Structure 1
Amino acid sequence: MHEIITEDKEIFLFLNNLGSDTFDRFWIMVSGTWIWVPLYVIFLYLLAKNYKVRNLVFILIFIALGVTVSDQLAGIFKSGIGRLRPCHDPSLDHLMREVQCGGQFGFYSSHASNTFFIATFMTMLLFKKYRFLPYFLFFWAAMVSYSRIYLGVHFPMDILMGAAMGFFLGGFFSTLALKVIRKQENNESERG
Structure 2
Amino acid sequence: MRANNIHFLVVITALVFTGLLVSFILADAHIVSDLSELNDMLLILANSHHSRFMDQVMLHVGNFYFWVPFYCFLLLMALAYDKIRFMRILPFVIIYLSVQSIFLFTFNNFFKHLRPLYQQYLGLQLHISSAGKGAAYGCLPAASAAVGIALFFSLYFNQRYRLLKLILFSWAALILYSRVYNGLNYPDEIFFGALMGLTLSYMSFMAYKHYLNRYYAN
Fold match by TM threshold 0.5: yes
Deviation at 1:97, TM superposition (A): 0.9
Change (3 A) 1:61 1:10: same
SS in 2 for 1:95: coil
SS in 1 for 2:162: coil
Unpaired stretches in structure 1, ≥5 consecutive residues? none
Amino acid at match of 1:77: F
SS in 2 for 1:132: helix
**Separation of aligned partners in 2, 1:140 and 1:64:** 20
The alignment yields a C-alpha RMSD, in angstroms, of: 1.6
Change (3 A) 1:52 1:179: farther
User: Which residue is equivalent to 1:65?
Assistant: 95
Identity of matched residues, %: 24
Number of residue equivalences: 185
Pick one of 57, 72, 82 that aligns with 2:112. 82
Unpaired stretches in structure 2, ≥5 consecutive residues? 1-31
Check the 8 A contact 1:127/1:133 in 2, yes or no: no
SS in 2 for 1:123: helix
Check the 8 A contact 1:62/1:174 in 2, yes or no: yes
**Separation of aligned partners in 2, 1:172 and 1:107:** 23
Amino acid at match of 1:83: H
Deviation at 1:154, TM superposition (A): 0.7
Query: Which TM-score applies when normalising by structure 1?
Result: 0.88
User: Which residue is equivalent to 2:28?
Assistant: none
Change (3 A) 1:143 1:156: same
**Separation of aligned partners in 2, 1:2 and 1:133:** 40
Amino acid at match of 1:57: M
**Separation of aligned partners in 2, 1:62 and 1:94:** 44
Matches within 5 A, 1:109-188: 109-111=141-143, 113-186=144-217
Deviation at 1:105, TM superposition (A): 2.8
User: Which residue is equivalent to 2:71?
Assistant: 40
Query: Which TM-score applies when normalising by structure 2?
Result: 0.78
